[in-house]
Amino acid sequence: MTGSVTAAERWERRVQLGAHPVLYPLVRSLGALGPVLRLPGLGVLVSEASLVRCVLMDGERFVKNGASASGGLWTPVVGPRALVNMDGKDHRELRRKLADLFTPGSVAAMVEPARERFLSRVEHGLDNGARVDLVDCVKELAGGVISRLLGVLDDAPGRLPDRDLFNLGSSISSLVRLGRPSLTPRQAAKGRAAVELLAGPARAAFHGNDPATFPGRLRSLGMTEEEALGIISAFVMVGTETLVSFVPRLVALLSDTGRISALAADRSGLPAAVNEALRYTVPSPMMLRNVVVDGAIGAKAVRTGDRILLSTVHAAKSLGGFDPDQPTPPQARQLWFGAGPHFCIGMPLAMAEINAALDVLLDRYLKKPWTIPSRKVSTGVLIPGYQKLELANGS
């Protein structure tokens, strides 16, 4: 098993370096220098899990809707009330209204049609002896869920293919960069253009007032049309890249560490394996906040207006290698989904997509084992991941 774990670690490092060949080792080395460091021109880097959690839990001093925080970046693209760029009382009230939209039954209904197409593509490819690109399959899975968020049924006239819907969501989320404190007018216009393409079917579903659709349910909660579109756009752009990054990396980890066979036969260890893979891969490697009240993070003074760089990637990875048999320390638990007032409200939907894909792959493995004959890491992307990861029938 030692050799397999080493292979898994080697591939994960290649994935990280493919995305950020300079920034990843820099962030990890800076994190090792101290829990809180001021970086001229960038902000204050926080690299220790308990301090990252403290910042995320304190919505009074550290806000997401500041000019250079992640929420503030999105306001020119999706409007001022998209949940991801809100704080305080209005944010709490909107979260309360939206909570019932992410029950197990609701998310299962959104994921199931896309899961069926994912299953069909995987089975058809492997049954015919072809190699199946898992990354592309997951992109289509994500696009299928986007169609449900937009309120578009599978047989709707003029419905965009799942892959095109994914590409639209990806074109919005790719605007964010760590060294980019704000969007230029051109970048904001590009984001708004993509949002407007997504908005057409969502507007139609909103006006159709059908509570069976996601936009229709937002209308029934008293949302205005623009508020509903902002919320839908936020869910599309926040979850698109992270899901497509994580699922292939999860499958690769389980394969590289020799755990696939046991998990296919006995799913009881699956939740622990998924949670540990989330901890080890850190699909949200950096989170941003702005300081609105002078104070301190640990022993480091921070001032109003400071940009806070929360290094979830160092906070999580510094806890050790991939080991589903070890519980995640409390300070890092679910940290990749955030904490406090902005804990990811869409987590149930993300987990439903992850589990749907993994169940399909494990069921297939149980019927006829597959291998990973080739893979290629993505380069120059915000969220580290594989550009291609192929599955083929085992020999």
Q: What's the pLDDT band for 1 if we cut at 50, 70, 90?
A: very low
| % residues pLDDT > 90 (the chain) | 56
The arithmetic mean of pLDDT across residues 126-152, rounded, is 94
Q: State yes or no: pLDDT of 129 exceeds 90.
A: yes
Cα 57 from Cα 132, distance rounded (Å)? 42
| % residues pLDDT > 70 (the chain) | 94
387: Cβ contacts below 8 Å, ≥ 6 apart: 135, 376, 377, 378, 379
Mean pLDDT of the chain: 89
Q: Which two tokens stand for residue 364?
A: 């297939």
Tell me the residue length of the chain: 395
pLDDT at 395: 66
pLDDT at 184: 78
The arithmetic mean of pLDDT across residues 191-212, rounded, is 85
Q: What's the pLDDT band for 3 if we cut at 50, 70, 90?
A: very low
61: Cβ contacts below 8 Å, ≥ 6 apart: 291, 292, 293, 295
Query: What is the dotted CATH code of the domain comprising 2-26+66-272+341-393?
Result: 1.10.630.10
pLDDT at 171: 78
Q: What's the pLDDT band for 180 if we cut at 50, 70, 90?
A: low
Q: What's the pLDDT band for 394 if we cut at 50, 70, 90?
A: confident
pTM metric for this prediction: 0.90
pLDDT at 234: 78
List the domain boundaries for the chain.
2-26+66-272+341-393
Of 3-7, 33-37, 78-82, 330-334, least confident by mean pLDDT is 3-7
Cα 113 from Cα 136, distance rounded (Å)? 17
Nearest alpha carbon to residue 137 among 32, 41, 219, 243: 243
214-239 residue pLDDT tens: 999 999 988 888 888 888 887 887 76
Q: State yes or no: pLDDT of 174 exceeds 80.
A: no
pLDDT at 342: 85
Nearest alpha carbon to residue 381 among 249, 265, 276: 249
pLDDT at 70: 66
